[in-house]
Chains A and B, each alone.
Chain A
Amino acid sequence: MIEYFNSFMIAVESLTKQKLRSALTLIGIVIGVASIIGIMTTMEAIQTYMEKSLSVLGSTVFQVQKTPFMNVGPSDRHKYQNRKDIKIEHADAIRDRAKKVANVGAEDWTYGRVIRYKKKSTEPVYLVSGATPEWSPNNGYYVDVGRFLTQLDVDYSRFVMVIGTEVVEDLFPFIYPIGETVKFEGRNFEVVGIIEEQGSEMGQSRNNMLVIPITVYQKIYGKEGSINITISAKSSELLNGAIDEIITIMRAVRKVAPGEDNDFEIFNSESLIAFWNDMSRNLKIGSILISFISLMVAGIGIMNIMMVSVTERTKEIGIRKALGARKKHILTQFLIEAVLLSLTGGLIGVILGVLLGNVVASLMNLSIAIPWFWVVVGLIFCSFVGIASGFWPALKASRLDPIESLRFE
């Protein structure tokens, strides 16, 4: 044991005496480890966020949309564009016929619009939603002050508006907003409610939003295009039954022939999680590949530098052998040097990766994460790289002839 500790100390010493060379050798390792740890850190942060926010969304809510959550290829896009649009009538049909659902809402969204009040105007509002009353429970946003939209607002296309707290701050710093009239898309709206303050998600504030009746929304933006239908099942046990029920109703209403594929998409938090897992798995495999390759290249670099080091230190090896160093002493000294080199690079890589990953995560407003599993895997792999690439040079060193080595200048 003491011998290995000594070999360790000898190795540390000779590495610190050759700082520049050691540093150069480290770069490859640092890149390899930093890239994998950086990506894993970001993934971990997103994962934590996804799990938290999707569980808030509720396990009973699902959506019907014309196109999938994310289009994959150009040919797919074409196929989805040719589908019939989803209309408010579809939502009405579901509301009439489905037995296993609690709330059926029709909604549509747009972004970046401005609201004015007297001389003041807001920043472009992040989220503009045309909605039905079910919007509130289905999305988990509840009104704090005033009221939410009612069915009458929708049926009579009333120009009423529910706003987020940031809109309140922009327009009504000193005035009670309920009952005030604001200008939006050239029309006058009455403010009827304020949504309670929310946390922010993915770098975007969720308080910077406004909601108007979907009928009014369509008067402004037109009736073309698809809406989303948001549905909550009566209970989580009924979720799968409710989804089947909605598929049947939608196929009937949209006259999809038996045997043909659905011409709409359904997804809930589970399928979003599945989609996310799919995407993150590919990203992870990609980053593992990148790291693997750069660590392999780095390993060759370490082998090279160790070979040079062994040659340059032939005299030193001769002296050590003359003083009684055995093969195993020389072997472990150089092996430990190689492992220390790659582990140092690995540690720097871990620190850099965690920092970078968390910078990305905090740009997306996610909480800080450390992917411990990958930190451990990365460091273990670095040790292997060190052993594998240091072995041959170390063996060469241990086999040097003492007399010939001593003669080396």
Chain B
Amino acid sequence: MTLIDIEGVKKIYDLGAEKIHALDGVSLKIERGEYIAIMGPSGSGKSTIMNILGCLDTPTSGSYYFEGEEVSKMDDNQLAGIRNQKIGFVFQTFNLLPRISSLQNVELPLIYGGVSLESRRERAELVLERVGLADRMNHKPNELSGGQRQRVAVARALANEPSIILADEPTGNLDSKTGEEIMVLFNQIHEAGNTIILVTHEEYIAENAHRIIRLHDGLIASDEVVRMHTMN
């Protein structure tokens, strides 16, 4: 089944003097199990499309179906529900809450998903083990390296077993060696059956993906399958 289906999506910022067409009519279908890299110059609309796919932002026009449901018609609370249950977002700047431990950070989506205290702790510990941070659960973000922080963020994205992981330049704030380690993690997550979309500037990062979409001035410039992916 098609996981994501957007048609003619536009995002226009009206700044009074000028209108910025961040997305100028983008259509895209994404199947379950895909591993996609979105590339393009700065300002081409990569973050904008990610935010719309992640239900953090709404398009100015166009339609968006997620697992067959029309997202563009949903209210704030329904969107929050989708973000919580279906989507795991990984940010360039990690976006961890600074004053709480890794474990508590990973528990956040579980809290908003209404998971009980005990199973929440158990699940958070499990995903932290999965990203290789079993020994860092009680550390706060400022006690962790950049790579470790991004691992916590990935664990948090995985906590509610979402349908898709969206990562906007997840290696952008990391050195290349740490970036590659994070990519190993993404590859593992994909092999375990998850759907992944990630934004990157770096060709060697994008090479991990099976399909590369290039944006230019809010439009899809190219969309090519670079490797056959195994359908689960």
Residues of A within 8 A of B (CB): 2-3, 6, 10, 13-14, 17, 315-316, 318-327, 329, 402-403, 406
Cα separation A2 to B114 with both chains bound (whole Å): 7
Known contacts A17-B99, A406-B95; is-contact A323 B114 (Cβ 8 Å): no
Contacts of B112 in A (CB 8 A): 320, 323-326, 329
Cα separation A323 to B76 with both chains bound (whole Å): 13
Are the C-beta atoms of A321 and B80 separated by less than 8 Å? yes
Cα separation A3 to B77 with both chains bound (whole Å): 15
Known contacts A324-B83, A406-B56; is-contact A2 B116 (Cβ 8 Å): yes
Cα separation A327 to B78 with both chains bound (whole Å): 11
Encode B15-59 as 1/0 by CB contact (under 8 A) with A.
Answer: 000000000000000000000000000000000000100101100
Contacts of A318 in B (CB 8 A): 95
Are the C-beta atoms of A327 and B76 separated by less than 8 Å? yes
Cα separation A406 to B91 with both chains bound (whole Å): 10
Contacts of B109 in A (CB 8 A): 323-324
Q: Please name 5 further chain A to chain B contacts, defined as beta carbons within 8 Å, in addition to the given A13-B99, A320-B108, A322-B56, sorted by A numbering.
A: A2-B114, A14-B99, A17-B99, A316-B97, A327-B76
Contacts of B163 in A (CB 8 A): none
Cα separation A319 to B156 with both chains bound (whole Å): 12
Known contacts A320-B108, A325-B80, A326-B77; is-contact A402 B56 (Cβ 8 Å): yes
> What distance in Å separates the Cβ of A246 from its nearest Cβ neighbour in chain B?
75
Q: Interface residues of B toward A: which range?
A: 20 to 34
Pairs across A and B, CB under 8 Å, 7 listed: A3-B114, A319-B95, A321-B80, A323-B84, A323-B156, A324-B160, A403-B57
Are the C-beta atoms of B117 and A324 separated by less than 8 Å? no
Contacts of A329 in B (CB 8 A): 112
Contacts of B173 in A (CB 8 A): none
> What distance in Å separates the Cβ of A252 from its nearest Cβ neighbour in chain B?
85
> What distance in Å separates the Cβ of A349 from its nearest Cβ neighbour in chain B?
28
Known contacts A3-B114, A402-B56, A403-B51; is-contact A324 B84 (Cβ 8 Å): yes
Known contacts A319-B97, A403-B56, A406-B95; is-contact A324 B114 (Cβ 8 Å): no
Interface check B132, CB cutoff 8 A: no
> What distance in Å separates the Cβ of B7 from its nearest Cβ neighbour in chain A?
22
- Tell me the residues in window 142-177 of chain B with beta carbons closer than 8 Å to chain A beta carbons: 156, 160
Which of A320, A329, A402 counts the most chain B CB atoms within 10 A?
A402
Contacts of A403 in B (CB 8 A): 51, 56-57
Contacts of A316 in B (CB 8 A): 97
Residues of B within 8 A of A (CB): 51, 54, 56-57, 76-77, 80-81, 83-85, 89, 91, 95-97, 99-100, 108-109, 111-114, 116-117, 156, 160
Cα separation A325 to B77 with both chains bound (whole Å): 9
B79 and chain A: residue at smallest CB distance:
A402
Which of A316, A323, A402 counts the most chain B CB atoms within 10 A?
A323
Contacts of B76 in A (CB 8 A): 326-327
> What distance in Å separates the Cβ of B162 from its nearest Cβ neighbour in chain A?
10
B82 and chain A: residue at smallest CB distance:
A324
Are the C-beta atoms of A324 and B56 separated by less than 8 Å? no
Cα separation A383 to B167 with both chains bound (whole Å): 42
Are the C-beta atoms of A2 and B51 separated by less than 8 Å? no
A313 and chain B: residue at smallest CB distance:
B97
Contacts of A14 in B (CB 8 A): 99
B99 and chain A: residue at smallest CB distance:
A17
Contacts of A323 in B (CB 8 A): 83-84, 89, 108-109, 112, 156
Contacts of B91 in A (CB 8 A): 406
> What distance in Å separates the Cβ of B71 from its nearest Cβ neighbour in chain A?
14
Cα separation A322 to B108 with both chains bound (whole Å): 11
Contacts of B83 in A (CB 8 A): 321-324
Are the C-beta atoms of A322 and B117 separated by less than 8 Å? no
Contacts of A327 in B (CB 8 A): 76-77, 80
Contacts of B51 in A (CB 8 A): 403
Cα separation A323 to B108 with both chains bound (whole Å): 7
Q: Tell me which of A6, A322, A402 contacts B111 (CB under 8 A).
A: A6
Cα separation A375 to B32 with both chains bound (whole Å): 60
Known contacts A2-B117, A406-B56; is-contact A324 B85 (Cβ 8 Å): yes
Contacts of B57 in A (CB 8 A): 402-403
Contacts of B85 in A (CB 8 A): 324
> What distance in Å separates the Cβ of B151 from its nearest Cβ neighbour in chain A?
17
> What distance in Å separates the Cβ of A199 from its nearest Cβ neighbour in chain B?
56
A10 and chain B: residue at smallest CB distance:
B111
Are the C-beta atoms of B114 and A326 separated by less than 8 Å? no
Contacts of B84 in A (CB 8 A): 323-325
> What distance in Å separates the Cβ of A318 from its nearest Cβ neighbour in chain B?
8
B78 and chain A: residue at smallest CB distance:
A326
Known contacts A2-B116, A3-B114; is-contact A322 B77 (Cβ 8 Å): no
Cα separation A42 to B84 with both chains bound (whole Å): 55
Cα separation A322 to B112 with both chains bound (whole Å): 11
Known contacts A2-B114, A319-B95; is-contact A326 B56 (Cβ 8 Å): no
